[in-house]
Amino acid sequence: MTRTISLFLVMGFIISLPFIAPVTGHSTSENLHKETQEAWEAFKSDMADQLHKAVAHGKDLLEKTDAEIDKLEDKASKASGETKSRYNEEVKKLRQKRAKAAEKLDDLENATADGWDATKEGFVNAYRDLYDAYREALEKF
């Protein structure tokens, strides 16, 4: 939420530059253009940094989840009968949800500034589904 507020503040600043320039003594359009461009570049750099951090965190979450799914899969291989079948079914569901979360993470990694919020939300929801399914699987066994 603070990122959204920061985004609005930066965009508000950029939009207000034409009105501020005469008051602050910047009378040329070249100066105004330069300041606007600098503000936009700083904003894009901050967004790229946030995106990089979010993707790295998402990859870390998926790696940790993979390890936990692998543990369930190992238990399935040691089980027999109905228990083995149930384990395998849960592992299959988890792998499908993991694939969906990875797809959303790829979308996030390739997001533009305009699509950042939507793709971030898409990954968060997909990972939440994966996590919930994992917790449910643990409760079953």
Predicted pLDDT of residue 40: 67
The pTM (predicted TM-score) of the whole model is 0.67
Half-sphere exposure of 9 (CA within 13 A, CB side): 7
Which of 16-25, 42-51, 66-75 is predicted with the least confidence, judged by mean pLDDT? 16-25
* pLDDT tens per residue, range 112-126: 777 778 888 899 999
Residue 141: DSSP 8-state = -
CA 53, 117, 93: angle at the middle one, nearest 5? 80
Amino acid type, 60 = D
CA 86 to chain centre: 32
